[in-house]
Structure 1
Amino acid sequence: MDKKEFYREIVMQASALCDGEPNRIANLANISAILFDRLEDINWAGFYLMADNLAGDGKELVLGPFQGKPACVRIPVGRGVCGTAVAENKTQLVEDVHAFEGHIACDAASNSEVVVPIEVNGQVVAVLDIDSPSLARFDQEDASGLELLVDMIQTNW
């Protein structure tokens, strides 16, 4: 099966699981489980959600539902791959996270990453983050497929 069809299947499976369920956390938990189960050669799949920072003077990403090893809990906007995705409101496709300026090493085993911002009403509300222990694990087809999944998530936010 080609990647396009593979990601269409993931979107259909996620959509079916989320259909009629209003609890966002439950839906994101199931989506992260689907991704962790179906994607090969990954070591983390999940979400970071926008929230007030601890100082109360801005926003940051806070760990949401995920599958994998324990992760960083708070990520400032503009820092690391996830924070950059928020600051630029753009998918980040990183072949080698160790070469990414400002990378935050939550798991030293991660070598490549793809992060897709989730936007609602013109504001980034969360990011989908997937890590792999392999260099250059993700390509543009993966990014496009995950953007389709994020489209479904945004529609049901």
Structure 2
Amino acid sequence: MKKDIAYSLKEATKKLEAYCAYQDRCHKEVVSKLKEMGMIPVAIDEIVGHLIKENFLNEERFARSFARGKFNIKKWGKNRIINELKQRGITKYNLTSALKEIDEETYVQTLEQLAKRRLGQISETNLLKKRKKLADYLLYRGWESPLVYEITKRLIP
């Protein structure tokens, strides 16, 4: 069991500066961390205000790097990225800004590579079931339905 530690405003602020400097965070993560530390609402507001003012906390920067990372590393589609950002309380403006980080041409090429790679892993012989498995996989990863159905029909005629 974790021992309760009381943090002063200054200590909590320093700790959260380090937390935000390590990687971009959204407001929700920071507030959650502060609550975990046992900070009162007035202190939370003051610390979050300080982090924003000092540019440790920037929601647009967070949204952009999140979208870039999930697309480039995890090969997520736009739907999954949008849903994950919405769960973190990101505004519509920042969602739009985040999606601009993904180049359209690269997006389509990535879908193509992902679909071909996954197709090589599916051992199903029934063409309809094979197409469904491929489509389900791509939809789960957040790729848009029209793109998914177009590529599955093209790869599995």
TM-score normalised by L of structure 2: 0.25
User: Which structure has greater helix proportion?
Assistant: 2
